[in-house]
Structure 1
């Protein structure tokens, strides 16, 4: 009976350690998801600003290029 109790205590300790590890990893995943959501929002805002700046400025390709300085 002593060996069964010992094995049971070891298993309970392992389960407790695994539960703690899972909780820590879950917290880390939450932090990473929040960071990724923030980065995604920033990227979307930058893309919008880029589109706005490109549409508000005249297209440079339509304007003739000045000749190089050595002419």
Structure 2
């Protein structure tokens, strides 16, 4: 193998490594963003479930005496 061929191969490998490093950083950023969004959505779903449970309990509770309409 000649020195020129070896240098060309090393250069090609260095280019591939640099590209792979950038791809890994991009993927890491995407995954991190997705986890943040998932956490936010989990909190929203939990809050909505709590609200639905409260509404179900309120609907099951016996109705108290309602005040008469304002025209009485």
TM-score interval (norm. to shorter): 0.7 to 0.9
1:41 corresponds to which residue?
Answer: 43
Unaligned regions of 5+ residues in structure 1, if any?
60-71
Normalising by structure 2, report the TM-score: 0.77
Unaligned regions of 5+ residues in structure 2, if any?
62-72
User: Where in structure 1 do 4 or more consecutive aligned residues deviate above 4 Å?
Assistant: none
Normalising by structure 1, report the TM-score: 0.78
Q: Distance in 1 between matches of 2:60 and 2:43?
A: 27
Q: Note the aligned Cα RMSD (angstroms).
A: 1.0
Task: Give the total of aligned pairs.
Answer: 59
2:30 corresponds to which residue?
Answer: 28
